[in-house]
Homo-oligomer: A and B are copies of this chain.
Amino acid sequence: MRVLIVFAHPEPKSFGRALLDRSVQTLQSGGHEVVVSDLYAMDFNPVASGEDFTQRCFPDALQYDREQKLASQRDAFTDDIQAEIDKVLACDLLILQFPLWWFSVPAIMKGWIDRVFANGTVYGSGGMRFDNGGLKGRRAMLAFTTGCFPEMMEPDGLLGQRDVILWHLQYGTFGYSGLEVLEPFVGWSIQYTDEGKRHAYLDQYETRLRRIEQETPMQTHLLSDFAADWRLKPGIEPRTAGHRRPMLKD
């Protein structure tokens, strides 16, 4: 496999960095090709703007996703974006690794998504999304550390259920783009763990990655499950495993 790890952590001496290093070693020793985009080290610009395009089709007023669509057709992305798009398209497995900040990815990683997951490339017109998304045939997973305890992300936990918190990333960003989503790897409450527990997390991650090719992605819906009104067709049950679909009642 070709694996792209996008990594966002401001501290080179962090546990997150140790986790990254272990994952690179493990995947390489398993014969996989690994590319790392270390966003802090790259000083990656996370702010989407009109300067992201070498030519503008609508120079009067920026419509970012329309410009992305045309840039996808005309190779008009700036080099920093095109380099990341090329890495994504070349990979079989995408790992986003980060500390969970405010129930999501750090801003530098959100900006990587905003700028690199471009209209016309990872999704687009003509039903190019979900199982027909631009990144179909590839897999993705989140690998993150938290300041909270796992009980807090249970269905009746303080913060709400893990896959609800992660919905915007796993079902939204990954799913919409056509990526098949593997269970996240979570290093819980890293600041409150001792050295032994941290080593155990490194070993757990290694064990997981050694068998990553054999994993079954989480279940999700197919585009064909939805009718022309964008609602689930009659008789199709909201999936209850993997990407569980919350059906909230009033």
Chain A positions within 8 Å of B, measured between CB atoms, are 10-11, 13-14, 40, 46-50, 60-66, 101-108, 110-111, 113-114, 117, 130, 147, 149, 151-152, 154-161, 163-165, 167-169, 171-173, 176, 191, 226, 229-232, 238, 240-241, 244-250
C-alpha gap A155/B157 in the complex (Å)? 22
Is the pair A107, B104 in contact by a Cβ cutoff of 8 Å? no
Which residues of chain B come closer than 8 Å to A247, judged between CB atoms?
155-156, 161
Which residues of chain B come closer than 8 Å to A168, judged between CB atoms?
102-104, 165, 167-168
Distance to closest chain B CB from A63 (angstroms): 7
Partner of A107, one of B107, B130, B240: B107
Nearest 10 pairs between A and B by C-beta? A107-B111, A246-B246, A103-B172, A103-B168, A46-B107, A107-B110, A11-B62, A13-B61, A244-B248, A156-B232
Distance to closest chain B CB from A179 (angstroms): 13
C-alpha gap A173/B101 in the complex (Å)? 10
Can you report 27 A-B residue pairs in the complex whose CB atoms are below 8 A from each other?
Answer: A10-B47, A40-B47, A46-B107, A48-B101, A48-B107, A65-B191, A102-B168, A102-B173, A104-B110, A104-B168, A106-B110, A106-B114, A107-B107, A151-B231, A155-B238, A155-B247, A157-B226, A157-B230, A159-B172, A160-B246, A161-B246, A163-B248, A165-B167, A165-B172, A240-B250, A241-B250, A244-B250
Which residues of chain B come closer than 8 Å to A46, judged between CB atoms?
46-47, 107-108, 111
Is the pair B108, A47 in contact by a Cβ cutoff of 8 Å? yes
Distance to closest chain B CB from A246 (angstroms): 3
Is the pair B10, A50 in contact by a Cβ cutoff of 8 Å? yes
C-alpha gap A173/B110 in the complex (Å)? 16
With A48-B10, A104-B104 already in contact, the answer to whether A155 and B246 are too (CB < 8 A) is: yes
Which residues of chain B come closer than 8 Å to A64, judged between CB atoms?
10-11
Is the pair B230, A60 in contact by a Cβ cutoff of 8 Å? no
Is the pair A230, B152 in contact by a Cβ cutoff of 8 Å? yes
C-alpha gap A113/B107 in the complex (Å)? 9
Known: A102-B110, A157-B232, A165-B172. 18 other contacts (CB 8 A): A10-B48, A10-B62, A11-B50, A13-B60, A46-B111, A102-B168, A102-B172, A107-B108, A107-B113, A156-B232, A160-B167, A160-B171, A160-B172, A160-B245, A161-B246, A161-B247, A161-B248, A167-B167
